Amino acid sequence: MKLFNIPNLFTLGNLLCGCLAIVFAFEGNLVWSAYLVGIACVLDFLDGFLARLLKQHSEIGKQLDSLADMVSFGVVPGVIVFVLLKTWSHSEKGLDQFSQYDFLPYIAFIIPLFSALRLAKFNIDTRQSDSFIGVPTPANTILIASLPLMIHFKKEMWFLDVEANLRIFVHPYSLIALSIIMSILLIAEIPLFALKFKSYGWKGNEIRWSFLALSVILLATLQFVGIPLAIVLYVLMSVGNNLVKRKVAGDR
């Protein structure tokens, strides 16, 4: 049994990034925690890509990938929301409004719980070989990790008062609602397309290329604000794609 092949080393790199992201988050450095989430996502993509390229698929690699994802894309987003809620509760405004609700930050850990269910379900669900059922844990983590980046790099745009909107997004009730909604979406029976290309032509990949193009536009124009919008777009396009497929199937 070979433990240290190239794909597994990338998976361990993903896990290391998750561990470091937790440390940075608890130290109050959520920006670097978010950066490490981004690196973890790249490594998570590369381990699967390299396993296919080098033909080094293994059962231990599959299990290791889930364990690493549980830390980087399960525990980390819960910790980020927890720290954001703790930061608010310790602020002057938070002390006035939420001093009697010291338990609120701990609601963030619903995210790791549902992430564990999501990953366990993914491992035994044969329907998810070419697509996803429910929001993938990396997508959920990217959305949550974008919040500290939006806060840190906030700037006013000609059509959007980012700072005013951020006060709404990072309000404790908004963060709690986001945690609950995204946790439910992790295990929801909603088919979502995967960014797995069997070929790179337009035909058969229309929704993938369209999503990537729109995401690039969002990121180029809105920077970090475009990240959560791209995740929402992903879910909406998947739902729309499902409705079109059902209509086509019903017309036959």
pLDDT tens digit sequence for 182-238 = 999 999 999 998 887 777 788 878 899 999 999 999 999 888 888 999 999 999 999
What residues does each domain of the chain span? 6-195
pTM of full prediction above 0.85: yes
Question: Quick one: pLDDT at residue 97?
Answer: 56
User: What is the sign of the dihedral through the CA atoms of 121, 26, 48 and 212?
Assistant: positive
Specify the higher pLDDT residue, 199 or 96. 199
Specify the higher pLDDT residue, 137 or 2. 137
The answer on pLDDT for 24 being more than 80 is yes
The answer on pLDDT for 156 being more than 60 is no
Cα Rg, the chain, nearest whole Å: 19
pLDDT tens digit sequence for 105-153 = 999 999 999 999 999 998 888 787 667 899 999 999 999 999 998 888 8
Question: Quick one: pLDDT at residue 212?
Answer: 94
Identify the band that residue 96 occupies on the pLDDT scale cut at 50, 70 and 90: low
Question: Quick one: pLDDT at residue 167?
Answer: 65
pLDDT tens digit sequence for 40-91 = 999 999 988 888 888 787 888 889 999 999 999 999 999 999 999 988 766 6
Side-chain-side CA neighbours of 237 within 13 Å: the count stands at 19
Question: Quick one: pLDDT at residue 158?
Answer: 43
Question: Quick one: pLDDT at residue 160?
Answer: 53
Q: Which of 26, 232, 43 is nearest to 143 (CA)?
A: 232
Residue 10, helix vs strand vs coil: helix
User: Amino acid identity, residue 18?
Assistant: G
Question: Quick one: pLDDT at residue 69?
Answer: 96
Rounded average pLDDT over 162-173: 68
Encode burial over 143-165: b for 16+ CB neighbours within 10 A, e otherwise. Answer: bbbbbbbbbeebeeeeeeebeee
The answer on pLDDT for 93 being more than 50 is yes
Helix (H) or strand (E) holding 132: strand 131-133
Architecture, CATH, for domain 6-195: Up-down Bundle (1.20)
The answer on pLDDT for 159 being more than 60 is no
Q: Which of 246, 236, 249, 243 is nearest to 210 (CA)?
A: 236
